Amino acid sequence: MKKLVLLLFAIFSIEIIAQTSEQYTYRAEFFFGDIKEGNTYNEVVDQQMEYLKFLEENDLNYGRALFQPIWAGEYEYDLVQYGFWPDGQEQYKEWGAYMNEYPAWAAENSQYESEPFEIKRSISMRGVRARGIRIPREEYDRFKFVDFQQCSFEKMGNLEKLLDLAARVEASEIELGNRAGYGEHYLLPYRGFEKPQYDFVIMRHYYSAEARSNLIASWPDYRDMMNKKGYRKEFQRYASCGPMSTFRTDWLYNSADN
């Protein structure tokens, strides 16, 4: 009887894991800077949406969002531009088109003689979607919250262990219920102007303010689950993270969806 119970529990556990969301890799870039004097945020948005027309005409697969600091301490930039591709092939395809074809296209089609945003720092990242539970797209807010944490691997830690842990945490969240409306990504530095003082960044975004509120309401049950199953201590064996900063996110487009 005991063996039967254990077998049924194992089958149920496998089924829950199978219901978790896909972990996939992608490429990303961040541009940190300021809105130029005399320009506005809306002009930055308009210029970005203008670029979407170029992407669609050239069958390029690229997405863009804008991050503005909310609770981020003494943050030195007005804005962060975030771009992403599904893989490295699409990344270099879009980069090549931007360098070689976009200048002529912009000369004929753009209303801007120069960009309203001044880039002061940039970095390219390898991204992995680690976990998260989505809500219907019609429930998304335009402006969303996104949290960032800079983290370093401990001696026992690596990305594979973190992703395995993330899948188990998500499976346990599904059992809890009322844990939908977010996505969590791990971003690892790839190229940039300087060597970062961290190994990876956790980017945790929320699809709506209501979803964020519901997640907060379920926090006591989530905390108890994390402690009971030992997930919190397991994460601490693999990585240590700094303070969390929060930004307002304006998800502008993903040309793959158009």
CATH number, domain of 57, equals: 3.30.70
Alpha helices of 110-246 — where are they, by DSSP H?
159-176, 209-217, 219-228, 231-238
In a domain, 34, yes or no: yes
Sequential pLDDT tens for the chain (258 residues): 433 333 333 333 344 444 678 999 999 999 999 999 999 999 999 999 999 999 999 999 999 999 999 876 667 889 999 999 999 999 999 999 999 999 999 999 998 888 899 999 999 999 999 999 999 999 999 999 999 999 999 999 999 999 999 999 999 999 998 899 999 999 999 876 667 889 999 999 999 999 999 999 999 999 999 999 999 999 999 999 999 999 999 999 999 886
Domains of the chain: total: 1
Cβ atoms within 10 Å of 224's Cβ, excluding its own: 11
In a domain, 12, yes or no: no
DSSP, collapsed to helix, strand or coil, labels residue 209 as helix
In a domain, 50, yes or no: yes
In a domain, 77, yes or no: yes
In a domain, 1, yes or no: no
In a domain, 38, yes or no: yes
* Domain enclosing residue 133, as ranges: 24-257
In a domain, 7, yes or no: no
In a domain, 215, yes or no: yes
